[in-house]
A and B are shown apart, each in its own frame.
Chain A
Amino acid sequence: MKMTGAELIIRLLERQGITTVAGIPGGAILPLYDALGASTQIRHVLTRHEQGAGFIAQGMARASGQAAVCLASSGPGATNLITAIADARLDSIPVVCITGQVPSAMIGTDAFQEVDTYGLTVPITKHNFLVDSVEELLDVVPRAFRIALSGRPGPVLIDVPKDIQNATIEFDEWPQPGCAEPAPQPADTALAAALALIAQAQRPILYLGGGVVHAGAAPLARELAETAGLPTVMTLMALGTLPETHLLQLGMLGMHGARCTNLALAECDLLIAVGARFDDRATGKVAEFCPNAAIVHIDIDASELDKIKTAHVALNGDVREVLGRLLPRLGAQADRRAWLARIGELKRDFPLKLDGRHNPRHHYGLIRATARAAGPAAIVTTDVGQHQMWAAQAYPLDRPRQWLTSGGLGTMGFGLPAAIGAALAEPQRPVVCFSGDGSILMNIQELATLAEEDLDVKIVLFNNGALGLVHQQQTLFYGGRLNASVFRGQPDFVRLAQAFGIRTIDLDAEPDVPDALAAAFAERGPCLIHATIGLEEKVYPMVPPGAANTDMIGG
């Protein structure tokens, strides 16, 4: 076979099963775009900013569990991708980014649109490549997918100089597509030690993290909770792995978790952490997190074990495989009636207070009413801020990959492009994007992409005229000095969306919110739903940054 480097990359992407890529062309990646134009398998989604392309790829990957691809040119194209790559790294999302680079002979000369993409992306990728020969592509492209998907998933970047895209290669055999490698298997003795700790525990809690979603282990985690009778908490990344209505679930832990959840954790004698990394937003002050608990920690990433909390039993492996080995060996469990009664008591006395949840003009009520209008099939994305935490607390999530949010990096601007990506990956499902007036403007240009692609994305815009979570922290912890958190001017978001060619509904002007939402969702295609939210509303409860989780304010 004989072809150019650019054609080779496209064929290799096709062989990986890629059908949609997002990106923006530019000088240094034009050969690749020329080859992409000839592909009958791969559809290109033209975004309006490379960060949008990065988050669209993330939305596809988060919704499907498959690796997704984004493209950018050299220089500013590559630097614009960086936030989306760093976000994928912190939330362990398999994304393969392909960037154009100036021709090999010009690297290091400060050529037009030259930047050290390789150097810039070292700390934010799982691995990265600067390709130095066309032959290398045969190895690098499948390897990039293998690395992105193996072990703990993550982003991989391939930087391809323009001359290598144009170079010709002759080869005899296609390489195998890259796929996930087998995970490490913890020893039977370690499994036995974990089983013994679980069986003996008087007051155990199961702590589920995003790794449960990545591993496809939600049904097994549920089986473990039910078989062993384990009250279960979830991180922001794991929401949906146990349905909101499940009797054993205690919802989200940490900074904005319910009082009953954080108080239960403080009393537990065994914490079974599954695909979770003891993030500071989840643990609060670590020394006071589950102070009396032994810890069983199951994670595919060995460097997460003992990182924050030393585990009594550490099981390094794929959480689905490890749970699959543990479940058939769960023996008789200690009598947990007293513990479950205590959990019931905590839930009764310190529940999550969703004040106003029956009033659709109130933030919690609007989230609940949106969920009813969107239906159970909907995928939910969020931006970052108060609306994100309110949605995490109040949206009735009931399956993994239903909830797509920027957990680790906390990137404002994530919601809209991630929703576009989710809609591309799962076109049969409606997608709801909860956003705020601060976040939406950070990637507002992707409304043009959304209109062009005509995807079934409904944006619910919580407008309080401020950076709400900053405003909240300044109010609570900085003596009410509101510096730079309230917008002095603001666009008319309804007319702005209309200018992009997007249907709008302004709930402020609607006499019946549920009816208006039902009408919005009844019609397929994009729609921006605007609602004014009171600036005085807070996310409660709240653990002050650096405090113990038992020191909650409000709620």
Chain B
Amino acid sequence: MNATRTVPAALAVLELTVNNHPGVMSHVCGLFARRACNVEGIICLPLGDGARSRIWLQVPDTDKLEPMTRQARKLEDVLEVIRHPDGHPVFAQLGAAVG
């Protein structure tokens, strides 16, 4: 789990709409970490008045993705999960900014 790793070739993006409070990131990220699934990229921004946030997670596109998606849908603070098997432009844009 602690070995240095390379970014997997196939990445999918999960787009989550969540309640915005201090514990949400720990619920969401913990779900992946304790199943030994490395989240390669994370972007989180508040929506509108800030009662909700949107999280984009860049994760390995493996057999684990479907069960992980079902687990994510069970989280109380996760209101919606959308899967983007071909990635999402938000990471390309951020990638360009990071350089």
Contacts and interface: CB of A to CB of B under 8 A. Distances in A.
Interface of A: 118-119, 122-123, 126-130, 147, 301-303, 306-307
B50 interface: no
A306 B66 CA distance: 10
Interface of B: 22-23, 26-27, 30, 34, 66-67, 70-71, 73-77
Nearest to A302: B70
B30 A123 contact: yes
Main secondary structure of the interface of B (DSSP, over half): helix
A297 to B, nearest CB: 13
Nearest to B67: A307
Contacts, number: 30
Contacts of A129: 23
A303 B26 contact: no
Return the 7 tightest CB-CB contacts between A and B, nearest first: A303-B70, A127-B76, A122-B30, A303-B71, A302-B70, A123-B34, A122-B26
A122 B23 contact: yes
A122 B71 contact: no
A147 B76 contact: yes
A279 to B, nearest CB: 16
Contact of B26 (A119, A127, A302, A306): A119
A122 B27 contact: yes
B34 A128 contact: no
A489 B3 CA distance: 43
A127 B67 CA distance: 19
B74 A301 contact: yes
Nearest to B31: A123
Contacts of B30: 122-123
Contacts of B70: 302-303
A140 to B, nearest CB: 11
A128 B23 contact: yes
Contacts of B73: 302-303
Contacts of B71: 303
Given A123-B30, A303-B70, A307-B67, A130 B23 contact: yes
A128 B66 CA distance: 25
Contacts of B75: 127
A303 B77 CA distance: 17
A31 B76 CA distance: 29
Nearest to A156: B76
Contacts of A119: 26
A236 to B, nearest CB: 24
A118 B23 contact: yes
A119 B30 CA distance: 10
Nearest to B69: A303
Given A123-B34, A147-B76, 12 more contacts: A118-B26, A122-B26, A122-B27, A122-B30, A127-B75, A129-B23, A130-B23, A302-B70, A302-B73, A303-B73, A303-B74, A306-B67
Contacts of B67: 303, 306-307
A397 to B, nearest CB: 31
A515 B46 CA distance: 71
A457 B24 CA distance: 43
A416 B67 CA distance: 36
